[in-house]
Amino acid sequence: MILKLSILEQLIAPVAILVGALLLGLFFKKVVIGYLARLASHTKWRFDDVVISSVRGSVVLWFLVLGLYVILQTQGLSKGITAFSSKALGVLVIFSVTIVVSNIGTETIEYYKSVITGLASATSLLKNIIRVTVYSIGILIILDDLHISIAPLLTALGVGGLAIGLGLQETLSNFFSGLQILAARQIQVGNYIRLSSGDEGFVEDLNWRATVIRTLPGNHVIIPNKNIANLIVTNYERPHPDMSIVFNLGVDYSSDLRKVEEVTIDVARDVQKTVEGAKRDFDPFIRYNQFGDSSINFSVILRGSTFVDQYLIKHEFIKRLKERYDKEGITIPFPIRTVYMNKETE
């Protein structure tokens, strides 16, 4: 009975310290971090929100580690146990800090990808680079703290990396092609592109291996980065997203070309001012360009805000122009060929 009481008495202080550290950590997370988060939400600088959000999840762990360290230093344990436990706690702290720094790096990319030109393209690839770099540094710091020589490890990694590199040529080729695409900053997430292979759509992601394109029907086309680097790419968002929409038309040879021009421009201006996605400040125009086999041909130029806006603009323009031409008696001829035959007389 006395032995049991002695064991309980010895456990009271460590348990009290651990519970106190837990409660203090929860209080710090709820009150102090919460207060700092509210202050940060009212500032224009977004980096403070990133840091506070990343630190919030590790605060309780750090207080628990502090409590365990106090227990080790005050309970009179053997030097071996104390030294081993202190090392383990040190490794735990370094690893948790590594996670926090990695989260800060990736969350910073998320915060500023819409602000910094070209950063949006780096969504997955840049995040992976940050994670690998930060975790590698964290592991090296842990090994150094454990007094493990990293020189032989680096040598082994160098030799092993050469062998792996030879076996992963395709993967590395895609990785470095992705870096090249990012560095060129000619393709970004959200851009509408068309490849010389015939694939086209919105760039949805650019990761370490492939570029993900979402087509207009909503399907994903996953193309290796090295293929993207070798193809001809038309980017409809560069140098600006708005684009000209050209209609090639033809009217009958008997038509009054002045009237045709007047009616066509009137319809085009109405479409330009009323259809969603059309550039309101653009004045459409018409240019006659060819005497065709069965019609006098011309082009009408309108302008849309983005690539996909052209579909609704084309739909409305064709519908309204046909209706107006019918009212005005303007004929769009069928492709015909007239043959004149001379009758020879004896």
Residue-wise pLDDT tens digits, 231-249:
888 888 888 888 899 999 9
Average pLDDT over residues 275-292: 92
Q: What is the mean pLDDT of residues 87-97?
A: 83
Q: How far apart are CA 187 and CA 181, in angstroms?
A: 7
183 versus 245: which is more confidently predicted? 245
Return the minimum-mean-pLDDT range out of 167-171, 233-237, 332-336: 167-171
11: pLDDT strictly greater than 60: yes
> Alpha-carbon distance 346 to 341, whole Å?
16
Number of domains in the chain: 3
Q: What's the mean per-residue pLDDT of the chain?
A: 80
Number of alpha helices (DSSP H) and beta strands (DSSP E) in the chain: 11, 8
Q: Which residue has the higher pLDDT, 122 or 235?
A: 235
Lowest mean pLDDT: which of 48-62, 260-274, 277-291? 48-62
CA 40, CA 55: separation in Å to the nearest integer? 13
Whether residue 341 is contained in a domain is answered as no
**Do 225 and 263 belong to one domain?**
no
Rounded CA separation 326/267 (Å): 13
Q: Report yes or no on 17 lying in a domain.
A: yes
What percent of the chain is predicted at pLDDT more than 90? Answer: 23
pLDDT of residue 3: 44
- The better pLDDT of the pair 125, 37 is held by 37
In a domain, 344, yes or no: no
Range of the domain at 41: 10-112
Average the pLDDT over each of 20-24, 60-64, 175-179, 206-210 and give the range with the smallest value.
Answer: 175-179
**Residue 169 in this model has a pLDDT that exceeds 50:** yes
Residue range 250-275, pLDDT digits in tens: 999 989 999 999 999 999 999 999 99
Domain assignment present for residue 5? The answer is no
pLDDT, position 299: 95
Strands, sheet with 200-206, edge to edge from the N-terminal-most edge strand:
220-224, 210-214, 200-206, 192-195, 233-235
Residue 300's pLDDT is 95
Cα distances from 80 to residues 5, 265, 334, in angstroms, run 27, 91, 97
The pLDDT, as a whole number, for residue 273 is 93
What confidence category does residue 316 fall into, taking pLDDT thresholds of 50, 70 and 90? very high
Regarding whether 254 and 314 lie in a shared domain, the answer is yes
Cα(48)–Cα(250) distance, rounded to whole angstroms?
62
Q: How confident is the model at residue 2 (pLDDT cuts 50, 70, 90)?
A: very low
> Regarding predicted confidence, which is higher, 18 or 109?
18
**pLDDT at residue 24 tops 60:** yes
Choose from 17-21, 136-140, 212-216 the range with maximum mean pLDDT: 212-216
pLDDT of residue 5: 43
Residue 116 has pLDDT above 60, yes or no: no
Residues 108 and 19 in one domain: yes
Residues 167 and 213 in one domain: yes
Q: Are residues 272 and 195 in the same domain?
A: no
Q: Would you give the distance in Å from CA 330 to the centre of its chain?
A: 49
Q: 247 and 310: one domain? A: yes
Strands 192-195 and 233-235: antiparallel
Average pLDDT, integer, range 27-47 = 79
Residues 94 and 155 in one domain: no
- Identify the CATH number of the domain in which residue 271 sits: 3.30.70.100
Last residue within a domain, chosen from 112, 137, 170: 112
Q: Is the pLDDT of residue 111 over 70?
A: no
Residue 7 pLDDT: 56
Lowest mean pLDDT among 61-65, 80-84, 320-324: 80-84
Q: Is residue 137 part of a domain?
A: no
28 in the same domain as 100: yes
What was the pLDDT predicted at 114?
54
